[in-house]
Amino acid sequence: MKNFDTIIIGAGHNGLICAAYLALGGQRVLVLEAADTLGGLAATREFYPGFKTSIAHSVSQFSTKIVRDLDLKAHGFKLGKALATVGLGDAGDHVIVQQGAVSGVSPDDASAYADYRQLLRRFADVLKPVWLKTMPRIGNNNLSEILTFARIGLKLRLLGKDDMGEFLRVAALPARDLMDENFDSDLLKAVLSWDGLIGSKMAPRSPNHTVLTMLYRMSGEYDGDHAIPAGGIGGLITALYSSAKDAGAEIRTGAKVGRILIEANAAGLTATGVELVDDEQIMADRVVSSADPQRTFLELVGTQNLEIEFSNRIRRLRCDGYVAKLHLALDGLPEFSGLERSDGRMIIAPDLDAIEFAFDDAKYGESSERPVMEIVIPSLHDPSLAPAGKHVLSAHIMYVPYRLKGGWTDEAREALCERIIGTIEHYAPGIREQIVHRELLTPLDLEQICNVTGGHWHHTEFALDQMLMMRPTYEAAQYSTPLSGLYLCGAGCHPGGGLMGGPGHNAAHEILK
Amino acid sequence: MKQYDAIIIGAGHNGLTNAAYLAKAGLDVVVVEKNEYIGGAAVSRELHSGFTYSSFSYVCSMMRQTIHRDLNLTRHGLLLVPYLGTVNFGDDGRTLVSYHSKEVAYNQLRRHSPHDADSMFRFQTDLTRYAQLIRKTLLRTPPDPTSFRPRDIREMLFLAKEFWALGEKELYEYIRFFTISAAEFLDDYFEDDLIKAAMASPGIIGTALGVYSPGSAYILLHHVMGDVDGNIGAWGLARGGMGAISNAIAGACQEHGGEIRTNAGVKQILVRDGKAVGVTLENGDELRAGIVVSNLDAKRTFTQIMDKNDLPPGIYDKAKNFKIRGSSGKVNIALSGLPKFTGVPDNRYIDRGGQGFVGSLETMERAYDCWKHGRWSDNPFIESVIPSAWDPTVAPPGKHWMSNFIQYCPSKLADGPWTPEKRDRFGQTVIDKIERYSPGFKDLIVHMEVLTPHEIEAGVGLTEGNIFQGELTIDQLLFNRPFPGYAQYRMPIKNMYMCGSSTHPGGGVSCACGANAAREILRDLKLPNTVPKDDCYDE
Amino acid sequence: MNTEDRWAGERLKETHFHPRQAVLNLRDAWSSWNGYKFADYYYDAEYEYFCVRNSCGTYDICPMQKYDVSGPDAEAMLNRMVTRNIANMMENRVTYVCWCTDEGRLIDDGTIFKLGPEKFMLTCGSPCLGWLKKSAFGFDDVTFTDMSDGIAALSIQGPTSCEVLKKLGLEGIETAKPYDIMHFPFHGSSGDTLMVSRTGFTGDLGYELWIAPELALDLWDALYASGEDYGIQPYGEAATNMARLEAGFIMPEMEFNEALKTVHFQHDQTPFELNLGWLVDFKKPHFNGRRALLQERDKGPEYTLTKLDIEGNKPAEKAYLYSNKRCTRKIGYITSAMWSPVVKANIALAMIKTEYLQGDIWAEIYYEKELRQTSKVAKCTIRKKPFWTPARARATPPHAY
């Protein structure tokens, strides 16, 4: 009574991409989404009557290959213009990074930035062939897998002797050191390291992971520039939905999977379908989960069906989110002192120490005394997100721990919210009077709204020990898992989180092999 | 003017080792040392009547036994003895004694947590596995991954083979281990905070990282991968103090005809036509040699004793950016008697171990936070040992000296430069803390030597007082140490080499950097290699 | 522990039977086990060994690790951990089990006592709380308690052991089948304070007694009073090691390296290599290492633990094994070896490459003759059965001694 070849758990962008590819490959595909809306962290939500936004508020690396393959343009996807990244200065002395150039800094820094960007682009280029490929296990490799390694090796070599050596050094560097080596402006340093830090439990001084994250974000087709698609982030999801639908995939919302059905036979365990929380069972040849690894294995599969060390390796994945989300419904466009246009990505982090010290609070389970943040006003890019003349402010706040000492009480939320608005007010005097409604989503809230363990953007930390053929663990890094018939396609797999689409794409290709 | 074959700048243990091996190969070498004493940070001096402090480095375990044997260091007066464990003190008043007997140590851990007592076996097994692999690289020149020379490819293959031999699972675990924090690494084994704190403490010693900073797990390994007589992780004391090591190597060097000049600080390395040709001393003397070897750290070498104009482009910036952060202090105390510590059994075996005032993971991390803010913590991590409890030669009978290593102590204070007054306050913080665990301790104090990064730099020339001559993070390890492209001891100027801890394998009294550099120099001179292969690691 | 003793922290712990055993340990021959002071032998190892084979002996198993595993999820958690199916175990039964890593390498072996529907006791030679905790992850309703110090345990082994227990007043003990557990009142108590299992590590008739620590010395005294006429004698590690080798039982650090304590890749063993394939049940629900073990079974183990009967009388300790008399092709090594006093044979356990099991096996034995090192090459014959398997070990009721 099998109706489907493949069931995909979760209709985030990766789930939808995977579904679209599989359906195009001729499979009968069913996508099950627990929430009532599609998109997961990229879903557009109405947080106050008439005011909408999504958790993710910009796109920096969505794969153009996927756009082509799935013909997303025909389905209405159109990426907006690159956003300027603005470091808000204390006295209106802002640093603006736009179109490969930086303004508001000394000539030395400006020219250093050009070199720096060149170098990082070259490095990011080395990693490019990696993202849309399955990373092979180290072991008995076949020719195509060896070629994957060889291609990276070749790319490295082609950098030339000096750059290659430098790459091997810089890749493991903390963001702070890279910044200190290149720039003088404190604000510029903070702004440029931002993309290496946000979404993770890492600070500017944390070695081994932060520069890599930066390179990851730069290795999309837009060189790390952020943009907002037509129709907001929801526009991307709508296009993906439409593409998957056209290809023949069936997509159900409000269908929360309670567990993955598993059958034992002489060869071992096989996933045969899913059971929804309302006890409905749906069978399929295979189950593909775009849920995070902890949810997939520990909740949906259950440890009794897993190996002991494997389940403990899944347990120890760093899945606690450290970013909160603030949504403000505003009755007018806020004015940031000394800033002409507020349609960019505005970063409030005066220097690297400010970020570091905000992190120090969070590492002990306290929410930062002086939070640092990234602000976007999505309604400037997509008027449909707010009533005419009104606006939405969307901000990512760091560092806000998932596990707050004493728990996330109303008082704790309120206090944090006040601190954040106080900070914003410093740069945008008068904003407080414009606020119609405010919503603060802690990582704990994100977990509940989006069904992501720990509320972590990337499902699990993007870091050296949790990337490539180690993401999420070496036994499950090729999208297949220790259980036959069970696959992963979420951000917890290589290449990782962010609105890129790599995991969904790669998983589909593994399955279709 | 005398023409030497080689000048070695700095008579630390690596410089002396380097000189000894070059002299052994028949070269006419001179070691020039700015201080009136030799040894650099491995030095022991009588700074108070009858008390011989090892002011800087105080215990040893990285020392390559192959070199000890090869240079006949025992005949030159060196006796290394393992010391007996450590007592760790928690903020909560608990103590954790690491007893010498495995079985007794197990019982002690069991008192705190039966789970952790069990996990200790797995922890030690895994750490041994990690240590064994690194240990094999200590007396080898790192390969240049960007090179196609047969030798580099061979060496890369050697590393790949050793790595491969770990088996798939351990290979991934190893990568993880290399990149994560000490605290996260320990979470996989232990539950008890005091046990974790005690195990994590080696992960921060000498480094500007905290127990929660990624990369500190490797530092932890760096401190426990040494051995005394094959017991990996054991620590030893040198009879007569750490200076005995330097003196023994100096003896070996002189026996082979090497010359050592003290009070001979180098003002500048002389470069002619792109080649190093000698040095000018601070007193104006000029020494000439075919080869110049710097045992100073990379930053000091390129930014202090070289003319920027002599350097190829980029090198000066690399040196300037070289991470060498001062994060440690040292307080040496002469005592009129053996201090007693609260909650510790009163027996002579425990007296012959060390003390670790670890507090807790959070205490250590908060001490690191203070460092970031440019101050020292009121509750710093202190690692202590009382060498005189075992060594009769370093203090008068019945009296003792105690070595206290403090993490963290910033080299630059937020409130302006170090002053003698601030230094003394730092010393006071340390003895206040010890007094909390040893009431009456202060009354025993006869004399104190307080060293902040400022004094360490001024005394033995380690930039910022960094004990490793450069942070031990991935970007500065193996073929990245000190800079990519210059990890094989040859420096950008022809005939110039480096042999200090700024080079592979990094800090610790190992003699390995000096020996490795000597091997490379002899290779360039096409002379027979006098440096032995490491034959002490088949384990 | 004596708080006055400033050396207390430096000493090994003493077991609950120590006061009596210390008196009897005339040679002061102590070694250690899991932090406990533990007799190597008491008077003469060979004499003690013969007591086990001829009359009976007691062996202190207090230092052995004992874990109480309880709760609704206890059975599922243990069953996922061990390779044998324990789902069909009856209450008051014991079963011999082993457990492996994800890669199918042996971590340890031990026994599971089923004491109630949701109550088990796991015993093993080395601490395994760390692994238990990892294994229990995901099973919410299970608790495990380390009972190692809280239970006094004494093994009584040998042909007269049943008789001694009868004389001790354990009514019906003769009806206990191998691996049965029985409970008895002891010392006038009303409840079942004494637990007896028909288990042991000698391959002979024998029982293990489990009791609260405060009753340990009373039990000892009563047992020795009952055993006076039946040749009761404490024996230590040396005699145990002889008896277990004759029975073909494996020992850690002899036959196998515990996987979690193994530094080098695959220097540990799989159950198939150790001839414990019979403990691996592929028909049971999922268990740890299943995938790897299935592969191992299909491909066959590289080495196989083999019982050898070796010509001559020189124990082949640490000998290399060869496939030819000229000793040019190494095929394995000896793990334990001894002259067996009961079967009068030169016996050994050896790890031999499976592919060579069909051919000749030669051992190159080194031994000393008045300080001179000598060697000889001896032919080895494979034995399928344990060297010592008396019928009384399995008969219920046990044969009269």
Residue among C12, C129, C262 minimizing CB distance to B115: C129
pLDDT (tens digit per residue) in A4-14: 999 999 999 99
Same-domain pairing of C18 and C163: yes
What is the rounded distance in angstroms from the CA atom of residue B5 to the CA atom of residue C276? Answer: 67
Same-domain pairing of C57 and C157: yes
Same-domain pairing of C347 and C213: no
- How many other C-beta atoms can be found within 10 angstroms of the C-beta atom of residue C320? 17
Q: CB C9 to CB B122 under 8 A? A: no
Packed helices B512-524 and B13-24: angle between N→C axes, nearest 10 degrees:
40
Same-domain pairing of C48 and C174: yes
Same-domain pairing of C308 and C396: yes
Confidence bin at A362 (pLDDT 50/70/90): very high
Residue A293 has pLDDT above 60, yes or no: yes
pLDDT of residue B538: 66
Chain C residue with Cα closest to A307:
C288
Q: Would an 8 Å CB–CB cutoff place A388 in contact with chain C?
A: no
What is the rounded distance in angstroms from the CA atom of residue B295 to the CA atom of residue B313? Answer: 22
Average pLDDT of chain C is 96
What is the rounded distance in angstroms from the CA atom of residue B382 to the CA atom of residue B89? Answer: 10
Q: Would an 8 Å CB–CB cutoff place C104 in contact with chain A?
A: no
Residue A220 has pLDDT above 80, yes or no: no
pLDDT (tens digit per residue) in C217-274: 999 999 999 999 999 999 999 999 999 999 999 999 999 999 999 999 999 999 999 9
Report percent pLDDT > 70 for chain A: 99
Q: Give the end of a domain, one of C235, C269, C286.
A: C235
pLDDT of residue C3: 53
Q: Give the end of a domain, one of C204, C235, C266.
A: C235
Contacts of C135 in chain A (CB under 8 A): 308
Residues of C with CB under 8 A from a CB of B: 6-13, 32, 34-35, 102-103, 126-131, 133, 146, 148, 260-266
> Between A215 and B242, whose confidence is greater?
B242
pLDDT (tens digit per residue) in C167-201: 999 999 999 999 999 999 997 777 889 999 999 99
User: How large is the average pLDDT for residues A176-196?
Assistant: 96
Q: Would an 8 Å CB–CB cutoff place A403 in contact with chain C?
A: no
Q: CB A311 to CB C138 under 8 A? A: yes
Is there a domain that residue C210 lies in?
yes
Question: Which helix (H) or strand (E) element contains residue A450?
Answer: helix A443-450
Chain A residue with Cα closest to B317:
A181
CA distance C288 to chain A (A): 5
Residue C299 has pLDDT above 90, yes or no: yes
Q: Which of A203-207, A212-216, B87-91 is predicted with the least confidence, judged by mean pLDDT?
A: A212-216
Is there a domain that residue C39 lies in?
yes
Is there a domain that residue C173 lies in?
yes
pLDDT (tens digit per residue) in A384-416: 999 999 999 999 999 999 999 999 999 999 999
Contacts of C64 in chain B (CB under 8 A): none
pLDDT (tens digit per residue) in C122-171: 999 999 999 999 999 999 999 999 999 999 999 999 999 999 999 999 99
Chain B residue with Cα closest to A468:
B172
Contacts of C140 in chain A (CB under 8 A): none
Torsion of Cα atoms, B95 then B96 then B97 then B100, to 10°: 180
Q: What is the 3-state secondary structure (H, E, C) of B144-178?
A: CCCCCCHHHHHHHHHHHHHHHCCCHHHHHHHHHHH
ipTM value for the complex: 0.95
Q: Which of A123, A141, A159, A168 to mutate to test the interface with B (most CBs of B within 10 A)?
A: A168
Q: What is the 3-state secondary structure (H, E, C) of B59-106?
A: CECCCCHHHHHHCCCCCCCCCEEECCCEEEEECCCCEEECCCCHHHHH
What is the dihedral sign for C-alpha A407, A408, A414, A420? positive
Is there a domain that residue C53 lies in?
yes
Is there a domain that residue C252 lies in?
no
Nearest Cα neighbor of A355 from A110, A243, A189 is: A189
Residue among B168, B362, B373 minimizing CB distance to A139: B168
Alpha-helix residue ranges (DSSP H) falling in B165-258: 168-179, 182-187, 193-200, 216-224, 243-255
Inter-chain CB pairs, A–B, below 8 Å: 95
CA distance A156 to chain B (A): 9
Partner chains of C (3+ C-beta pairs under 8 Å): A, B
pLDDT (tens digit per residue) in A103-121: 999 999 999 999 999 999 9
Is there a domain that residue C274 lies in?
no
Is there a domain that residue C327 lies in?
yes
Same-domain pairing of C205 and C316: no
Domain limits for position C309 = 302-401
What is the rounded distance in angstroms from the CA atom of residue B122 to the CA atom of residue C213? Answer: 30
What is the rounded distance in angstroms from the CA atom of residue B423 to the CA atom of residue B450? Answer: 7
What is the rounded distance in angstroms from the CA atom of residue B318 to the CA atom of residue B462? Answer: 17
Q: In DSSP terms, which residues pair with C108 in a beta bridge? A: C99
CA distance B121 to chain C (A): 6
Q: CB B349 to CB C264 under 8 A? A: no
Q: CB A463 to CB B214 under 8 A? A: yes
Residue A260 has pLDDT above 70, yes or no: yes
Same-domain pairing of C220 and C324: no
Contact B19, B31 (CB under 8 A): yes
Alpha-helix residue ranges (DSSP H) falling in C289-351: 290-299
Same-domain pairing of C167 and C31: yes
Residue among C102, C137, C286 minimizing CB distance to A305: C286
pLDDT of residue C2: 44
Nearest Cα neighbor of A372 from A426, A331, A336 is: A426
Contact A316, A150 (CB under 8 A): no
Count of structural domains, chain C: 2
Residue C1 has pLDDT above 50, yes or no: no
Same-domain pairing of C307 and C399: yes
Same-domain pairing of C159 and C51: yes
| pTM (predicted TM-score) | 0.96
pLDDT (tens digit per residue) in C30-53: 999 999 999 999 999 999 999 999
* DSSP per-residue string spanning C1-68: --TT-TTGGGSPB--TTHHHHHHH-TT-EEEEETTEEEEEESS-HHHHHHHHHHSEEEEE-TTSEEEE
Q: CB B97 to CB C9 under 8 A? A: yes
pLDDT of residue B539: 63
Pairing, β A250-252 against β A29-32: parallel
Q: Would an 8 Å CB–CB cutoff place A309 in contact with chain C?
A: yes
Is there a domain that residue C282 lies in?
no
pLDDT of residue A110: 97
CATH number at C225 reads: 3.30.1360.120
Same-domain pairing of C227 and C326: no
**Which of B 159-188 lie inside 8 A of C, CB atoms?**
165-167, 169-170
Pairing, β A281-289 against β A486-488: parallel
- Local confidence pLDDT in tens for the 539 residues of chain B: 689 999 999 999 999 999 999 999 999 999 999 999 999 999 999 999 999 999 999 999 899 999 999 999 999 999 999 888 899 999 999 999 988 888 999 999 999 999 999 999 999 999 999 999 999 999 999 999 999 999 999 999 999 999 999 999 999 999 999 999 999 999 999 999 999 999 999 999 999 999 999 999 999 999 888 888 878 888 899 999 999 999 999 999 999 999 999 999 999 999 999 999 999 999 999 999 999 999 999 999 999 999 999 999 999 999 999 999 999 999 999 999 999 999 998 888 888 889 999 999 999 999 999 999 999 999 999 999 999 999 999 999 999 999 999 999 999 999 999 999 999 999 999 999 999 999 999 999 999 999 999 999 999 999 999 999 999 999 999 999 999 999 999 999 999 999 999 999 999 999 999 999 999 999 999 999 999 998 876 66
Q: Give the end of a domain, one of C235, C261, C294.
A: C235
Q: CB A207 to CB B473 under 8 A? A: yes
Q: CB C266 to CB B121 under 8 A? A: no
CATH number at C369 reads: 2.40.30.110
Same-domain pairing of C156 and C49: yes
Confidence bin at A498 (pLDDT 50/70/90): confident
Q: CB A161 to CB B485 under 8 A? A: yes
Residue with tokens 């049943």: C162
Partner chains of B (3+ C-beta pairs under 8 Å): A, C
User: How large is the average pLDDT for residues A53-74?
Assistant: 92
What is the rounded distance in angstroms from the CA atom of residue C299 to the CA atom of residue C313? Answer: 36
pLDDT of residue C401: 84
Q: Would an 8 Å CB–CB cutoff place A316 in contact with chain B?
A: yes
Read off the tokens for C220.
Answer: 């000892």
Residue among A264, A268, A303 minimizing CB distance to C137: A303
Question: Which helix (H) or strand (E) element contains residue C70?
Answer: strand C65-70
Contact A364, A328 (CB under 8 A): no
Contacts of B350 in chain C (CB under 8 A): 9
What is the rounded distance in angstroms from the CA atom of residue B207 to the CA atom of residue B216? Answer: 8
Domains assigned to chain B: 3-79+240-321+470-524 (3.50.50.60)
Q: CB A360 to CB B369 under 8 A? A: yes
pLDDT of residue C400: 84
pLDDT (tens digit per residue) in C325-381: 999 999 999 999 999 999 999 999 999 999 999 999 999 999 999 999 999 999 999
- How many other C-beta atoms can be found within 10 angstroms of the C-beta atom of residue C119? 15
pLDDT of residue B36: 97
Residue A218 has pLDDT above 60, yes or no: yes
Write B369-373 long-range contacts (CB < 8 A, 24+).
Answer: B369/A360, B369/B210, B370/B408, B371/B208, B371/B327, B371/B408, B371/B409, B371/B410, B372/A205, B372/A353, B372/A356, B372/A357, B372/A360, B373/A357, B373/B414
Alpha-helix residue ranges (DSSP H) falling in A63-142: 64-69, 107-131
If 0-12 CB within 10 Å is exposed, 13-18 middle and 19+ buried, where does residue A26 land?
A: exposed
Q: In DSSP terms, which residues pair with A484 in a beta bridge? A: A270
Contacts of residue A174, Cβ cutoff 8 Å, sequence gap at least 6: A204, A205, A206, A207, A208, A210, A211, B473
